Amino acid sequence: MFSANKYEDFTDYEVELARATARKMVGNCGLSMDDVPDLEQELMCHLWKKKREFNPEHLSQCSYKTFVSRVIAKKKVSIFREKSRERRLLDHRKDLIEAYGEELFDDASDASDASPCITRDQITWSSANDSSCGSVEERVISKVLLEENLKKLPFIQQTVFLLREAGYSPLDISEQLNISKTAVYKHLNIAILKLNEAGVFDRRD
């Protein structure tokens, strides 16, 4: 977004505040020193977009430095929330592996196996990845919202929904989880109903 002198349109205060904030974020939510340049860039890009909102003619408005500080602080919180969400989703994947073993994410392919293999990339949401469902940005947002709401469901409902979205049939799921097909349909329908109510999933099997 910025040229070689990428911060020439910013004041020294803005640049130093963004850099200091990026460094202070290290150690939280898995962030390391390697992330500092990207964090700094993200903070500066956000500030660039928000600067136009400051109007010095509004007597009730705070000073410009206070405005900048608030913009940077709010963006920092937003980044922390995003990173925390990513870590929770990763923890959920680990929970699946611990509960059902690495074979749940087996990358191998065996044509003689009656049950289809499931890979890491397949543990996703077909509706959120459908190119007909809007722009890439809209699909990413939809996917994040879906993941967040799925996390609120009981573990068994999450698992059944994940496996169904990955291409498993109800029979495959019942065999994988050692539950009846009736139980599979029950958990799947409840999961879909709750996700529908949350407005993040509108496809029914």
Q: Half-sphere exposure of residue 191, counting CA atoms within 13 Å on the CB side?
A: 26
Q: Look at the domain 101-197 and name its fold.
A: Arc Repressor Mutant, subunit A (1.10.10)
In 3-state terms the chain splits into helix, strand, coil percentages (rounded to 5) of 65, 0, 35
Domain ranges for the chain: 12-85, 101-197
Note if the pTM is more than 0.75: no
pLDDT in tens, 77-122: 999 988 887 777 677 667 666 765 665 444 333 333 333 333 334 4
pLDDT in tens, 142-157: 677 788 888 888 888 8
Q: What pLDDT score does 37 carry?
A: 94
**CB contact set of 50 (below 8 Å; sequence gap of 6+):** 71
